[in-house]
Structure 1
Amino acid sequence: MARSGGDKQGKLEFDESRIDSGIDSYKSISREHDGNLDSSEDKDKTCATDERLDSAYVSSSLTVDSLGDFIEKCSISECESTTDCEYTEEEVNFLTTVTEDGDTRRFCTSVDRPVSSRADGYSEQLTPLHLATYLNQPTIVKGLVEKRVSLELQDQEGNTPLHVACEHGFWECANEMIHNTSPSKLTNVLEAQNWRGLTCLHVATLRKHHRLVRLLMKNSVDLNIQEGTSGKTALHMAVELHDMPAVNLLLNKGANVDATMFNGCTALHLAVGRQDAAIANLLCQAGADKMIRNMEDETALDLADGNDDILALFPFDDIQIMGRTVMNFS
């Protein structure tokens, strides 16, 4: 997407990857100067453009106060589709935002429906609960959840509102969602994967939000659930990040130390392959099976690659064939 003012001085060009989507929609801005900005008019235009990086989030229609006021008047819609619902003038004014570029974003009038569509056909699929979470407003999140909004609706990246909280480390928002949701419904949310195959536990682990990981653990999250692309568990991810506190936390709470990825690798394979003797030692102390072979027929020992600290974790007291001890010299 590019804007051009012909041959005028102070021309601004925006990268085509910038999509005015409402959240994190701009990636980069490149400015080309054809000459000096001598006129005050051009300078004013440049400043105005710099200030407006994202029309949806600077819009006066999307302030925290206005969102909160509207939530007080919301109720769960019984309509089969948003086209079946009749909206008040106030709802239409609040929920329809026309940006400076002429993009129209219509936010759902029913607080538990997918949020937006745009005149150009691009759908952001945000709900008011997504927006309140992005803005880190736990009070508004609580109000929405108490109105029985769905926590399972996903945005254009497949993220539920709880995914968003785990991504950004918004513990208070996550806490309101979890503690105001029935256990049966919460289970579905905790198992939901975004389009990258990640659950909320995976996201919190990848972002090293240990407090959020503990919150999810207290609410019976499956510690051994696999992400959808390579089959990693949270323990695999923590090992890859060399995150000793997370590895220790997961093991202490009962994570399966011998869980395998789709390629057969255990957390110990990953630790040894990354030459992380400290985490490899921790996994061995937790009872990791050193003889598990991955799909390439390699044990963790095969990956040690001459690292004496790691080789010391693999005593040679026994002769083993196919993982079975056939002779013991001790």
Structure 2
Amino acid sequence: MASHDCTKEHLPEDNRTDSGIESYRSIVKSEEPRGPSNDLSGPRDKFSGGEEWLDSAYGSSSLTVESLSDIVGGCTISSSNQQVQSSELSEQEQEQEENLLTTITEDGDTILHLAIIHEISPLAKELIQIFPTEVLDIQNNLYQSPLHLATYLNLREVVQSLMEKQVSIELQDQDGNTALHVACQHGQLECATEMTKDVSPSKLAPILETQNWRGLGCLHLAALNRQHEIMKLLIKNGADLNIQEGTSGKTPLHLAVELHDITSVKLLLGSRANVDAAMFNGCTPLHLAVGRQDATIATILCQNGADKMLRNMEDETALDLADGNDDILALFPFDDIQISGRSLVGVKF
């Protein structure tokens, strides 16, 4: 009997549409609560009424672009220490200004979080220059840092400004995703590039190895979401091609095979991914390709040296999963099968 794990169309529970943002469930709310959306690829949950947005962090008060701007309207930036210059303010005024700039809402958001949520990039960039790094790394109640939010919203210039201030790229949101995970899942190539271009290999390597709470690393997410350019970027930056996800031990190549994604399969094999990598149950990419009756990818794997005789934990070779598919059976040699010392090759029955 064919192995259930090798033949079923089963991907890790992500093609999974969560980045930890949950459509801003706890960040931006309308006057009437709405349930979280499972589709983070659709329109952003920004509730507008003319020029103002209602935000749960401020109760019944409204936020406008102007009111957010007014918060930092009197602040200037020092080129030497990047701190707010307030020499002309009284001590009490300085304290009030500092409290206002570092206020954290009931949802855990700083003013910077809110500026990013409302996509006011000029204001966000100004705040980034004003705030010290430790404030830039504050995570809200969903454990999202400003870098997470800017990446999800594909605000490249904001991501660039945050990276120039050397914010942490290691922080994980409530789903265990770093900002780079978010970029890989949602195809934010420019943001991913900003987060990797000036980072030392020793600092980037742990991020590339980090798995979210579902066991998926950055390269897994990129493969699952067919983000080929991001896959190239990660590979260029030293991502482990054979990293196993935490639930069943699939490598990015296994995931690409499951998705019938020929482009990813060729990309990974061309970068020297292990064609015979085994899942926890012993299934190789060839087991998966044959079990899914994908003769094209099975052929590519064989052309790249896949071992056709490897057995999984159910003692099955890939041939055992062919299920009579002539295109796939043609990949397997029978010249070693003999009856009474006579080869069966060329024998007609």
Unpaired runs of 5+ in structure 2? 1-21, 39-47, 84-93, 113-130
Q: Partner residue of 1:105? A: 108
Please identify, of 126-135 and 87-96, the stretch whose mean Cα deviation from structure 2 is larger: 87-96
* Paired residue total: 269
Measured after TM superposition, the shift of residue 329 of structure 1 is: 7.6
The sequence identity of aligned pairs, in percent, is 57
Q: Partner residue of 1:199? A: 217
Aligned CA-pair RMSD:
3.8
Higher relative contact order structure (alpha carbons within 8 Å, sequence separation ≥ 6): 2
Measured after TM superposition, the shift of residue 90 of structure 1 is: 4.1
The 5 A counterparts of 1:246-265 are 246-265=264-283
Aligned 8 A contact 2:224 2:256 in 1: yes
Aligned 8 A contact 2:334 2:344 in 1: no
Aligned 8 A contact 2:25 2:36 in 1: no
SS of match in other structure, 2:108: strand
Distance in 2, matches of 1:97 and 1:327, equals 81
Q: State the TM-score, normalized to the length of structure 2.
A: 0.67
Distance in 1, matches of 2:327 and 2:173, equals 46
Q: Partner residue of 2:18? A: none
Q: Partner residue of 2:26? A: 21
The 5 A counterparts of 1:268-283 are 268-283=286-301
SS of match in other structure, 2:231: helix
Q: Partner residue of 2:163? A: 145
Distance in 2, matches of 1:66 and 1:105, equals 21
In structure 2, give the amino acid aligned to 1:279.
Answer: I
The 5 A counterparts of 1:311-330 are 311-319=329-337
2:249 pairs with 214, 231, 249, which one?
A: 231
1:293 pairs with 311, 322, 333, which one?
A: 311
In structure 2, give the amino acid aligned to 1:105.
Answer: G
Tell me if 1:180 matches 2:198. Answer: yes
CA 1:174–1:19 in structure 2 vs 1: closer, same or farther (change >3 Å)? closer
Distance in 1, matches of 2:160 and 2:224, equals 26
Superposition misfits of 4+ residues, deviation over 6 angstroms: 51-54, 63-70, 72-76, 326-330
Q: Partner residue of 2:7? A: none
2:139 pairs with 110, 115, 118, which one?
A: 115
Distance in 2, matches of 1:286 and 1:181, equals 33
Q: Partner residue of 2:232? A: 214
Aligned 8 A contact 1:142 1:180 in 2: no
User: Could you report, residue by residue, the CA deviation over 1:218-247 in whole angstroms, capped at 9, with x for unpaired residues?
Assistant: 111110111111110000000000000100
Distance in 1, matches of 2:204 and 2:71, equals 25
SS of match in other structure, 1:282: helix
